[in-house]
Structure 1
Amino acid sequence: MDYLKKKEKKTLPTNVTKEQACTRPFCFFCTMKEPNSFKRRAGISACFKELPLREDQGNVLVLSSLWNVAMAHPDDPEFPSLGIFDCMARFIHKGINNKSTSWIQRDQNIFIPYYAAHVIGSYTMNKAAFAEKAVASGVIPPLLELLRGKMSWVEQRVAVRALGHLASYERTFEAVAEYEEEVVNLAIKLASTCLDVVYVSFVGVKDEIKRQKYHCNLLTRGVGGFEMENCKAEEWASQLQCWSLYILNCFACKERSLNLICKGNFLKELCGMWGGLANHSSPAGIGLVRILCYSKYGRKKIAESKVVIESLCNLSRSSDDWQYMGIDCLLLLLKDPNTRYKVIDMAALFLVDLVELKSLGDRSNLGEAITKALLLNELNKNRRIEKCLEEVWNLKVQRRKKERLLSEEKIEESRVLVDLMKQEANHMFCIGEIEEAIKKYSEALKMCPLGLRKERMVLYSNRAQCELLIGDADAAIRDSTRALCLSSPVNSHSKSLWRRSQAYDMKGLAKESMMDCLMFINGCIKSESSKRVKVPYYAARMISKQMDATWLFATARSKMATVDDQDFQEIKEVQKSESRVNLHESSSDKQDYHDEMMRIVMQKKGLSTIFEEPLTQLKEESWRTMERTKTM
């Protein structure tokens, strides 16, 4: 526990000094210095029992130090074996019950419930044995009190994190499930409203004086200004939403409370819960949708929602990290005879562009799986879909059979002929005969052997550029996607990424446009040999535009600008203890935000974020079981 001593001076600013703490009749830090291990352990155990009973100003220093230890050494069994969970549960209980008295407002005690819940969550993050000790110590009821919003969204964040860890272990899940209906409803409500609440009560408050001071200190550890507070608040709000969804994942995995989770409005909201750039390590809403697709009831409800299916289709043709999850969901729906007929009309139009995928993430031969799912048994009465399926059959079956018989000489002849046709199409493009160029690229694609993947990639990408010029965004997306499927690795062809980004922008799909643009910028950075990397101005402009549209708090900001919005008025009632906030952002604030994000792009060579704790750092038997290891 030498780490504890080193971290004493790195906690939140406080009027309590180490020397003052040592004048107390019972000092936790003095106990830690005891050289005799038996006496030290006995002293620590006694200290954990005594701390919640005392009302001196040193408690917050002890709690923040324990938090540092728990975050740095979550697998150390010493404190969990000496009663730390019981101590933290009593502190939370005391903080909630004394909220209306002077105790919680005195000596920085306002920080104590937050630290106590965070300590519980950190020690239960990796070890089921610690989770069992925590449950036996009675941590669930006080954590539920915080989850109910007895204090603020800051405490809800660490409470939902701790409950998520407890719910993820087989041996402690039932203890959380004793409050199943309430926990599920609270998690649904929190996931749906937390971004609005954080914006209304903190981010949207432009007057620094009117912000909760202890929130500011927790967010920045006492070091940082207005801008850092906003950045951390965005990250924490995203984590709050993602951890709420994680608890729902735990229940959905066991097919529990699906009737609550699969309500139509919440399923639609899930499509917009993408975690944001502040939390790219969590699959957020799509993770829960995929879990639901593994159950018959979940598939039925998802297939009934056109909004959800359309969102899954758009995700399947994007460069998002969770693209494979969108494809997984669609394949699961297509393989179920009860849901196939409900989704085939929309899904086939999107998946046909992905049949030449070789691998994606840890998925191999994904294109073959898509082909089999599309060509299952019956014909479709919809002529457009039937034509689409005929295209898949011709591409993946008939042409493949014919080209297996071609000699190397014939393939080389085809390559030369295709190259001549491409040059002719390029010339037509240059002189402005765009539609003629499209026809010539199409002819070249019909002539080009399937094995010439690079040549076909260029043809698709060039045709997409022509389609952009004539304003056919859908066709440009289709051809760009096909080109990206043929690229090696997948989604790496820069020109196709930029062209699809523009097409998505034309259709108003801001998130998909931004993801492609980010991939395009990353490709530019990697291709630059000089130390001074230049991002194309048009790409920077596109990022700026789409980041404003996809900002985590974009919806909340628009609600604040519409004072007659009923939902916003309800949120304001919940937050009525907060001061009135400024309803509008200045244009200079937006520009500063965009400039800062572009600076991060350049310095980090991508939009990577350092997290307080990664959402995917859970046990292999829980998170991996729910999100990764299920096969088609």
Structure 2
Amino acid sequence: MTPEIPCNNPSCFFCSMNEPDPVHRKAKITNCFKEMPLKEDQELVLALSGLWSIATTQPEDPEFPSLGIFECMAKLIQKGITDQYWLLRDQNIYIPYYAAHIIGSYTMYKARFADIAVRSGVVLPLMEILSGKISWVEQRVAVRALGHLASHERTFGAIAVHEVEIVKLAMELASNCLDMVYEKFVSVKEKKRVKYHSDLLTRGLGGLKTENRKAEEWASQLQCWSLYLLNCFACKERSLSLICNEEFLKGLCDMWSWLTIRTSPCGIGLIRTLCNTKTGRESVANLGELIEGLCNIARSSDNWQYMAIDCLLLLLKDPDTRYKVIDFAALFLVDLVELRSLGERTKVGEAITQILLQDYHKVKYGSLRLKTTKAEKALEEIWDLKVERIKKEKLMPENEMEEKKLMVGLLKQEGNKKFLSGHIKNALKIYSKALYLCSLKMRQERIVLYSNRAQCYLTLRDPEAAISDATRALCLSNVVSPHSKSLWRRSQAYDMKGLARESLMDSLKFVNGRMKHTKSVVIPCYAARMINKQMHATWLFGAAKLKMCNRRGEEVQKSNRQDYIYHCRLIKEKGSVFGLPTILEEPLFENRGRNLEKGMRLKKRSLSSSRSAHVKFG
């Protein structure tokens, strides 16, 4: 066995780590941190890699923060920025990334460590990275570290000293990071990519697909952490005049990362923080595009649905912003007044009802006029549903209630027959009559009727009405196990409107619920097609690709889905989007498919899809 060669380097980091005596070990590691910025050998990168691994796995261990690691990392970052010759020699290019990541990991949870880091001078070097002095890879870990420092009360002041510069940089990153990562990495051919970027992304494992997947994840994180840093300022009502920039606010609803970072509320989280401030509410209320985005999220299966509802309720509570948004918001929130719970929140529908109806009598008797009659009708509908009908049903005798229940059952059967024979409009009227007769206590019957009527609207190519009815059915159904047909029908309706994100969320929830209910691992083919379509339509780098193609003067083909992804939101026409067929197949129960197909042919109401729609009603 070959004997180990003794190390002659007195400041060797690995020898210091192996020192058995605690006192000597502490002194040696302290000396290592002082010597590291002066080193010129290959061991430095290996030492930084080891420290990075320790920091990410043991971020609350006080040993290294107490021995001078922050000052060492700050000097290494500064050296990499100021000395390009040193940075590009050997493997030193990795050092600023590791150093910024180590700072961020140790300051994540402990305010005491963050305080040490600030006093060690890490803020200015991190800001240099944030400004783009090296590359987007380092920006990702720098904004993460600054976000952690800004989140602690003890160290926020040190970040706030550079408030304007940091806020502007964070806003620019949040808005442009996807374009930047796509242009500088994803769109670059494999052989021409910056090697150390590829190595950091894959850790030496995987090929092109792994690199692209990780690049998407890191770009999303860069955007999320930029928004988190902005949120730290917004929470303290700092720099609101900068953050409430009109163009920046318009893009916040589209800054979402559910598929890559499920724990981050991203843009919607920052909007809610702004809506908790007077300045923020006034800025948000003036942007119709942003209000529409909030309304769509509030009426979807998005993880952050409750945040969108919070934003709208905060705007409606403020008398200065209430009448700027109520005409539009009431049209969406009317579908949510029977929502019982959402996550840990209970009586969500009751809260919506109280806020919407707080001045209903003024509207009813003419002392207050809303801008649109649709909004007034929505409030009238809420009043009738949540006040008048409850009063009537309390006084209704049991025998009359039973008669109505029998009548509802007969009407439902008649409506089903009309639909299956192709008389869609007649079926719609019958379902509406049944809903009018339905007692509020007949939740299951109302779920089925709303869902069936949503299918009628789908067939008649009225996606907005279909979304409304499907949403009402879902609000009445079990939150843990929502009505699957309503989810699928709403997903199709969102697809008609070109709202790919909302359609995707409903499709995923539909598949999860169906697999849980049937204990099957097979995804239905029609759902798989919808998910595949919407995944393409919500590709993180889609808008970036389109912009780059336009800049290069390349002809953009409408048949290429990825070139038109985020622009689906701009298309509000009925029917397919950018030549993509709207997926309307619903082969849940094929035993009645032939009857429907025959009826649809007879009435010349066949769908635009070449495939027939198969539907079963309750």
TM-score of Structure 1 vs Structure 2, range by shorter chain: 0.7 to 0.9
Change (3 A) 1:403 1:550: same
2:547 equivalent to 1:559: yes
Change (3 A) 1:130 1:583: farther
Residue 406 of structure 1 deviates from its aligned partner by 3.7
Which of 129, 135, 138 aligns to 1:146? It is 129
Change (3 A) 1:586 1:305: closer
Residue 583 of structure 1 deviates from its aligned partner by 10
Counterpart amino acid of residue 508 in structure 1: G
Alpha-carbon separation, structure 1, partners of 2:72 and 2:63: 14
2:214 equivalent to 1:224: no
2:528 equivalent to 1:546: no
Residue of structure 2 equivalent to 1:414 = 404
Superimposed CA distance per residue, residues 319-358 of structure 1 (whole angstroms, 9 cap, x where no aligned partner):
0001111111111111111011110110000000000001
Superimposed CA distance per residue, residues 545-588 of structure 1 (whole angstroms, 9 cap, x where no aligned partner):
111111111100111211268xx9xxxxxxxxxxxxx9999989
Counterpart amino acid of residue 553 in structure 1: F
Change (3 A) 1:587 1:504: closer
Residue of structure 2 equivalent to 1:308 = 290
Residue of structure 1 equivalent to 2:265 = 283
Which of 496, 505, 508 aligns to 2:495? It is 505
Secondary structure at the residue paired with 1:223?
coil
2:86 equivalent to 1:98: no
Residue 415 of structure 1 deviates from its aligned partner by 2.5
Alpha-carbon separation, structure 2, partners of 1:238 and 1:585: 26
Residue 536 of structure 1 deviates from its aligned partner by 1.5
Task: Note the aligned Cα RMSD (angstroms).
Answer: 2.2
Matches within 5 A, 1:589-628: none
Residue of structure 2 equivalent to 1:110 = 93
Alpha-carbon separation, structure 2, partners of 1:188 and 1:32: 41
Alpha-carbon separation, structure 1, partners of 2:484 and 2:315: 32
Residue 402 of structure 1 deviates from its aligned partner by 1.6
Which of 440, 444, 459 aligns to 2:430? It is 440
Which of 103, 118, 133 aligns to 1:135? It is 118
Alpha-carbon separation, structure 1, partners of 2:127 and 2:234: 20
Residue of structure 1 equivalent to 2:611 = none
Residue 279 of structure 1 deviates from its aligned partner by 1.8
Alpha-carbon separation, structure 2, partners of 1:177 and 1:536: 52
Counterpart amino acid of residue 201 in structure 1: K
Alpha-carbon separation, structure 1, partners of 2:252 and 2:318: 22
Residue of structure 2 equivalent to 1:203 = 186
Residue of structure 2 equivalent to 1:383 = 373
Change (3 A) 1:181 1:175: same
On the 8 A contact 1:51/1:87 being kept in 2, the answer is: yes
Alpha-carbon separation, structure 2, partners of 1:84 and 1:410: 78
Residue of structure 2 equivalent to 1:479 = 469
Which of 281, 306, 309 aligns to 1:327? It is 309
Which of 369, 372, 376 aligns to 2:351? It is 369
Secondary structure at the residue paired with 1:66?
helix
On the 8 A contact 2:131/2:169 being kept in 1, the answer is: yes
Q: Which runs of 5+ in 2 are unaligned?
A: 364-368, 564-618
On the 8 A contact 1:21/1:27 being kept in 2, the answer is: no
Change (3 A) 1:21 1:501: farther
Alpha-carbon separation, structure 1, partners of 2:398 and 2:140: 62
Counterpart amino acid of residue 128 in structure 1: A
Residue of structure 2 equivalent to 1:27 = 12
On the 8 A contact 2:103/2:145 being kept in 1, the answer is: yes
Secondary structure at the residue paired with 2:48?
helix
On the 8 A contact 2:536/2:561 being kept in 1, the answer is: no
2:52 equivalent to 1:80: no
Residue of structure 2 equivalent to 1:298 = 280
Residue 25 of structure 1 deviates from its aligned partner by 3.9
On the 8 A contact 2:258/2:264 being kept in 1, the answer is: no
Secondary structure at the residue paired with 2:205?
coil
2:44 equivalent to 1:62: no
Residue 272 of structure 1 deviates from its aligned partner by 1.2
Residue of structure 2 equivalent to 1:451 = 441
Change (3 A) 1:322 1:273: same
Residue 24 of structure 1 deviates from its aligned partner by 3.3
Alpha-carbon separation, structure 2, partners of 1:407 and 1:77: 71
On the 8 A contact 2:11/2:28 being kept in 1, the answer is: no
Alpha-carbon separation, structure 2, partners of 1:589 and 1:24: 55
Query: So what's the TM-score if we normalise by structure 2?
Result: 0.87
Secondary structure at the residue paired with 2:87?
coil
Alpha-carbon separation, structure 2, partners of 1:588 and 1:267: 26
Residue of structure 1 equivalent to 2:453 = 463
Change (3 A) 1:167 1:21: farther
Which of 37, 42, 51 aligns to 2:22? It is 37
2:525 equivalent to 1:537: yes
On the 8 A contact 2:481/2:513 being kept in 1, the answer is: no
On the 8 A contact 2:333/2:352 being kept in 1, the answer is: yes
Which of 232, 257, 266 aligns to 1:250? It is 232
Alpha-carbon separation, structure 2, partners of 1:105 and 1:25: 26
Superimposed CA distance per residue, residues 13-56 of structure 1 (whole angstroms, 9 cap, x where no aligned partner):
xxxxxx79945342111111111111111111111111111111
Secondary structure at the residue paired with 1:334?
helix
Q: Which runs of 5+ in 1 are unaligned?
A: 1-18, 569-581, 591-632
Secondary structure at the residue paired with 2:379?
helix
Superimposed CA distance per residue, residues 393-446 of structure 1 (whole angstroms, 9 cap, x where no aligned partner):
000001011212345554444323211211111111111111111111111111
On the 8 A contact 2:107/2:145 being kept in 1, the answer is: yes
Counterpart amino acid of residue 365 in structure 1: K
Counterpart amino acid of residue 523 in structure 2: V
Residue of structure 2 equivalent to 1:182 = 165
Secondary structure at the residue paired with 2:454?
helix
Superimposed CA distance per residue, residues 138-162 of structure 1 (whole angstroms, 9 cap, x where no aligned partner):
1001000000000000000000000
Residue 108 of structure 1 deviates from its aligned partner by 0.8
Secondary structure at the residue paired with 1:277?
coil
Residue of structure 1 equivalent to 2:600 = none
Secondary structure at the residue paired with 1:279?
coil
Deviates more, 1:352-361 or 1:541-550: 541-550
Counterpart amino acid of residue 51 in structure 1: M
Alpha-carbon separation, structure 2, partners of 1:399 and 1:21: 88
Counterpart amino acid of residue 56 in structure 1: D
On the 8 A contact 2:11/2:31 being kept in 1, the answer is: no
Alpha-carbon separation, structure 2, partners of 1:88 and 1:583: 46
Alpha-carbon separation, structure 2, partners of 1:500 and 1:586: 25
On the 8 A contact 1:360/1:490 being kept in 2, the answer is: no
